[in-house]
Structure 1
């Protein structure tokens, strides 16, 4: 048994990051009371924190649309229909990731641990990305140490973008707020072709290092080849449109997915309102973990039922970070409790319109491209 445990340990993902300590402050009391009231809410309503009937419908809907649009795409009789169904399938897959994959990664899409893992692995791996690596990084790095360089894997040190104060300020960075939308087009293609592949060689724009276990390396290669097979090779083989038409559909699909993905998620943590805390020499932060989440997240139209349905709760990002054990379908009902408690404990909860959050994102890019230091704007809610 000891040998088996040792082998499992060797095969676990190794995330080389700074592990931090937090202090107790008003955020600690807020978080304690929040959990108590959320528990009471679910006891009184008799519901589970995991997905309900609405979530089951969404699971069948989005997976069904994925299959339907792929079937229509692969049997298209005209280039116009081929492009239409290819792009609709891409949109459907993205919505599946927002609404199903993400909650399944946190174990709350459904009650069963097995089905959560299956839903997450199936939907993520079939996009050509490694579910295990992303899940570990997301849960054990980004959620724990949001916006902290050297601890949050989503903090980038990309030479084309200046996102942190530790990066040297280059002359071309003053234009990054203008060329950013063009580079955002390549987000998902970079993820598919380079992001995880570079991790295999211990090369990455991430500010922490990740070593991928051998079995996941094999899976990574297999699923990427499989993705190329059914998204490029099979359409070329079965349809009479030629490789150029198929390749253009593939690229256009990734461009659209990238813009939508960055538009939904990029504004949540990259804003001139949010903080980018720096720990002291002992890896200690001068705030509690709940307060960190509120200071590093922007919500937009958090109580919107339409956005909750469409974006899987990503518009209520601070709520998700503090309550990852609650399925997003419950957010509209618990956000009033969340807001009331934040106000009671005199904590700043940053919520705004989407246009305001997007404007703030580009102000952040402009500021980081022209100033050595970032001083967050004061939020006046």
Structure 2
């Protein structure tokens, strides 16, 4: 598929939205980046990770206590991804570029590749959300059908039942399979991968080796193969599921759209900002615990419209965005509680599995 183009109009919803958000930051004098509030969260999560890892690997607690710690470690790893890596990768963790780079590289330490993530998430997903054939996030084929434009197989009838297992496999597949696929194929889906420099190659392989040492070799040496395997599966399967479900609730629910470009013109029917609002959903906006843990990704609408603004500002700017949407008659999709979004996601999977069309 050729890269789609977005419609343009004389009255731009996006231009008005940007003007109002800029006015908010000018009037309040706040920085668009994270600052002390995010630094504190990063210290808490990083400290928790170091303490849990050290205790599990070097002090080998009893089996019940170790399993509990592995569960917490899975949550902490997810939290680091949501809060530290994600903001750092978007350049919103700090005003200081080196701190953003450091925060983004937390992904490399945990086994992923910041280079691949930047291409897959920042460049492709944020530009062409829910566009089948371009957005790699909705390409889980052949195992799942995430859009009506994708082929339907008999097993998809049950995808609303087995998705729990596939989502849990995300972290393991990410660090052991998917990054390598992108690296050797030199593309993400149908999109060519940005040319890697010598430094990019060295960083990719250097951190992959480091991760194998930290998460496989050293733990096996310290606690034995069986102890490592059980602990690794507990923490990685939980982390995979948590990471998956949070991102899926943002785009693959009943009310989000899956637009395709016009075959003749290659254009999508909406301007970019309207496209983002039609393809993205919020959940649990008033739940402070969820908001803290998922790094504001429950305010996915705000994140997609303003990826260069830190998540700590999303609750405040959401009011401005809602008001602007009402004035321009643009949809704003939001589920008041997380369980409502989960139920909608399951219902969406049922619809796709039965061959029904998405919006």
Q: What TM-score do the two structures reach when normalised by structure 1?
A: 0.87
1:199 to 182, 186, 193: 182
Output the CA distance in 2 between the equivalents of 1:139 and 1:314: 14
The answer to whether residue 273 in structure 2 is matched with residue 295 in structure 1 is no
- Structure 2 CA distance for partners of 1:154 and 1:285, relative to 1, 3 Å: same
Q: Is 1:180 aligned to residue 163 of structure 2?
A: yes
User: What secondary structure is seen at the aligned counterpart in 2 of 1:312?
Assistant: coil
- Of 14, 33, 54 in structure 2, the residue corresponding to residue 31 of structure 1 is 14
Offset at 1:340? 1.1
Equivalent residue, structure 2, for 1:86: 70
Looking at structure 2, the residues matched to 205 and 213 of structure 1 have their Cα atoms a distance apart, in angstroms, of: 14
**Could you tell me which residue of structure 2 aligns to residue 110 of structure 1?**
94
1:309-348 matched pairs, under 5 angstroms? 309-348=292-331
The separation in 2 between residues aligned to 1:60 and 1:42, in whole angstroms, is 26
Please, which runs of 5 or more residues in structure 1 have no aligned partner? 1-16, 377-381
1:248 aligns with 2:230: yes
Given the alignment of the two structures, is residue 267 of structure 1 paired with residue 249 of structure 2, yes or no?
yes
Q: Distance in 1 between matches of 2:239 and 2:358?
A: 32
Question: Is the contact made by 2:55 and 2:61 (CA closer than 8 Å) also made in structure 1?
Answer: no
2:137 aligned with 1:151, yes or no? no
Q: CA deviation at 1:207?
A: 4.9
Deviation of the 1:203 alpha carbon: 8.7
Matches of 1:67 and 1:31, distance apart in 2: 42
* Correspondent of 2:209 among 212, 220, 225: 225
Structure 2 distance, partners of 1:232, 1:375, is 41
- Residue in 2 aligned with 1:277? 259
Q: RMSD of aligned C-alpha atoms?
A: 2.1
- Alpha-carbon deviations, 1:272-301, whole Å to 9, x = none? 211111101322111110110010011112
Q: What do residues 82-103 of structure 1 show as CA deviations (whole Å, max 9, x unaligned)?
A: 3333332332121011111111
CA distance in 2, matches of 1:87, 1:320: 28
Asked if the contact 1:156–1:205 (Cα under 8 Å) also holds between the matched residues in 2, the reply is: no
Per the TM alignment, residue 111 of structure 1 is displaced from its structure 2 partner at its CA by 0.4
CA contact (8 A) 2:91 2:97 kept: yes
Output the CA distance in 1 between the equivalents of 2:230 and 2:99. Answer: 35
SS in 1 for 2:193: strand
How many aligned positions are there? 355
**Residue 303 of structure 1: CA displacement?**
4.1
Question: Is 1:130 matched with 2:113?
Answer: yes
Instruction: Give TM-score, length-normalised by structure 2.
Output: 0.92
Deviation at 1:204, TM superposition (A): 8.3
Using the TM superposition, give the Cα deviation of residue 218 of structure 1 relative to its aligned residue in structure 2, in angstroms: 4.0
Aligned to 1:129, what secondary structure does the other structure show?
coil
Deviation at 1:321, TM superposition (A): 0.2
Q: Displacement, 1:114? A: 1.8
Aligned to 1:71: 54
Q: Is the 8 A contact 2:186 2:193 kept in 1?
A: no
For 1:357-372, what aligned pairs fall within 5 Å after superposition?
357-371=341-355
CA distance in 1 between partners of 2:187 and 2:154 (Å) = 23
Measure the CA separation in 2 of the matches of 1:267 and 1:297. Answer: 9
| Kept after mapping to 1: 8 A contact 2:124/2:134 | yes
Of 199, 204, 218 in structure 2, the residue corresponding to residue 234 of structure 1 is 218
Contact 1:152 1:207 survives alignment (8 Å)? no
